[in-house]
Structure 1
Amino acid sequence: MSKNIIITGTSRGIGFELVHLFANQGHNVLALSRNAKPVSNLHFDNISSFPFDLCNQDDYKKVSDFINEEWKQVDILINNAGAIVNKPFAETTFQDFRKVYQTNVFGVSELTRTVLPFLKKDGHVVTISSMGGIQGSMKFPGLSAYSSSKGAVITLVELLAEEFKETGPQFNVLALGAVQTEMLEEAFPGYKAPTTAKEMAEYIQNFALTGNKYYNGKVLQVSNSTP
């Protein structure tokens, strides 16, 4: 049966691959990114997209209006969009941290809050974090804003799972290791990851569709390398 799925960060990398994996399976996808062009050029009847900026409060109403008018309900939300700053901590600014946290933490909470009234009891909210946000994992210099934001979002998801455990939906986090994307190149220039964006997208797709039968409020570490 086809599901209604919202994905952020869909103009490139894992998010772009996810949109097409779900659409090819016959699901309805709302693809959200600041640049809607890469997805809107592909003319799938079951892909909707419009420019959406997690840092712009006015854009969230566009999402709730779309759901009200087109779908009425949502099965899956995948918080995939991410922002990264790679520079030594002493050189970071208030604006650097604000930019990263606005997308990686505040954006996740605001979009989740926006979509929540439409999510079914057995709905699934999957948030993409990073191994850099896992306590006790290898930490890399230059990623203070990024990795700390990815730690914050893990705790947020654990809290949401607890708050909504009686009513649903279910909330889980995937903490990803290195995947060959443009963002990886920003974090680790020249490093070649053992996993492609499409391979990771296939894993996330399957987890989004089935993982909430087995997990709620959990962090799964999806990594086969360091970084």
Structure 2
Amino acid sequence: MQETVLITGCSSGIGRATAIAFLEEGWTVYATARNPADIETLGERGCELATLDVTDDEDVDRVVNRILDEEGRIDCLVNNAGYAQFGPIEDVTVEDARRQYEVNVHGVHRLCRAVLPHMRREGDGTIINVSSVSGRLSYPIGGIYAGSKFALEAMSDALRNEVRAHGIDVVVIQPGPVETQFGRRADDEIARLDRTEAYEPFYAIWEDTGLLGGESPGAVSPARIAEDVVNAASATKPRARYPVGPVAQGTLLARFLPDTVRDRLTELVVRLVG
């Protein structure tokens, strides 16, 4: 029987590439996005399309129930929808921070709660949460975004052990820089902030380096990430985490450095850029 996957955030980048990769492997793919016009071409490729705002409980229930009515199964959930709110902690408003968590954390929670009853009844299923190297290592100007990804990683670790006995796998994908429009939206979010002069060195680092943007050295293609997502979904015993790309693999090692060493390296970067 053909397997079915539900993917959030398919309007571009990782989500779009992942939908295509699952199609090529013969899965029934439900590609979702807040704006249906953004995923019309995926429908032309063979995806089933659905409008889905991960912050809306009714939207989530409607889409999950539709898939179960039409296919009778959801074998894999890929929680990809998300964005980055960068900026110094003081400059990011409480409202912006709340919105970041509403999408990156609570949205994932909603989808997991919606599909888990079905997966438990079937005694099978895979939940794949697209995180980031920022989910294991935080840095100046990235605290709000990294915090949301830290929360996602913690939630995934707990869930993995809660549902293992029911035949359900939980996987975290950890990209570094990706060749997508991710950095452009992050630029838009940071441009809305009222900048405090005291943090200008950190804003300069963002503007000069691009951090996680598609032009960063070592950025990987969305298709490369999609490859790991499909491999994890297809594996009998997938790994708990898949760091994708050399930057991700190298950066994750930095978390083993003592805090004092990481802090000194950060000070050095600020002096060099400033």
Give the secondary structure class of the aligned counterpart of 2:165.
coil
CA distance in 2, matches of 1:127, 1:95: 24
Confirm or deny that 1:183 pairs with 2:179: no
Checking the alignment, whether the CA contact within 8 Å between 1:72 and 1:118 is kept in structure 2 is: no
Residue of structure 2 equivalent to 1:200: 225
Checking the alignment, whether the CA contact within 8 Å between 2:53 and 2:59 is kept in structure 1 is: yes
Checking the alignment, whether the CA contact within 8 Å between 2:78 and 2:127 is kept in structure 1 is: yes
Checking the alignment, whether the CA contact within 8 Å between 2:128 and 2:172 is kept in structure 1 is: yes
CA distance in 2, matches of 1:5, 1:79: 11
Structure 1 residues 43 and 221, CA gap change in structure 2 (3 angstroms): closer
How much has 1:73 moved relative to structure 2? 1.1
Q: Computing the radius of gyration over CA atoms, which structure comes out larger, 1 or 2?
A: 2
Structure 1: which 4+ aligned runs deviate by more than 4 Å?
Answer: none
Which runs of structure 2 are paired with 1:55-204 in the superposition (5 Å)? Answer: 55-119=55-119, 120-134=122-136, 137=137, 139-185=138-184, 186=186, 188=210, 191-204=216-229
CA distance in 1, matches of 2:43, 2:238: 35
Residue of structure 1 equivalent to 2:272: none
Q: TM-score, normalised by structure 1?
A: 0.88
Give the secondary structure class of the aligned counterpart of 2:112.
helix
Structure 1 residues 46 and 4, CA gap change in structure 2 (3 angstroms): farther
Which runs of structure 2 are paired with 1:1-40 in the superposition (5 Å)? Answer: 2-40=2-40
Structure 1 residues 154 and 224, CA gap change in structure 2 (3 angstroms): same
Farther off after superposition, 149-158 or 37-46? 37-46
Residue of structure 2 equivalent to 1:209: 234
Which runs of structure 2 are paired with 1:48-59 in the superposition (5 Å)? Answer: 48-59=48-59
Q: TM-score, normalised by structure 2?
A: 0.74
CA distance in 2, matches of 1:170, 1:126: 8
Structure 1 residues 37 and 162, CA gap change in structure 2 (3 angstroms): same
How much has 1:80 moved relative to structure 2? 0.8
Larger proportion of helix: 2
Give the secondary structure class of the aligned counterpart of 1:225.
helix
CA distance in 1, matches of 2:80, 2:72: 22
CA distance in 2, matches of 1:101, 1:115: 20
Question: How many matched pairs?
Answer: 221
Q: Calculate the aligned-residue CA RMSD, in Å.
A: 2.0
How much has 1:129 moved relative to structure 2? 0.6
Q: Which runs of 5+ in 2 are unaligned?
A: 188-209, 252-274
Structure 1 residues 64 and 103, CA gap change in structure 2 (3 angstroms): same
Checking the alignment, whether the CA contact within 8 Å between 2:11 and 2:33 is kept in structure 1 is: yes
Give the secondary structure class of the aligned counterpart of 2:164.
coil
Farther off after superposition, 74-83 or 44-53? 44-53
Give the secondary structure class of the aligned counterpart of 1:178.
coil
Q: Percent identity?
A: 29
Give the secondary structure class of the aligned counterpart of 2:29.
strand
Confirm or deny that 1:220 pairs with 2:242: yes
CA distance in 2, matches of 1:88, 1:66: 41
Structure 1 residues 43 and 68, CA gap change in structure 2 (3 angstroms): closer
Structure 1 residues 214 and 42, CA gap change in structure 2 (3 angstroms): closer
**Structure 2 residue identity aligned to 1:205:** V
Structure 1 residues 8 and 42, CA gap change in structure 2 (3 angstroms): closer
Give the secondary structure class of the aligned counterpart of 1:77.
strand
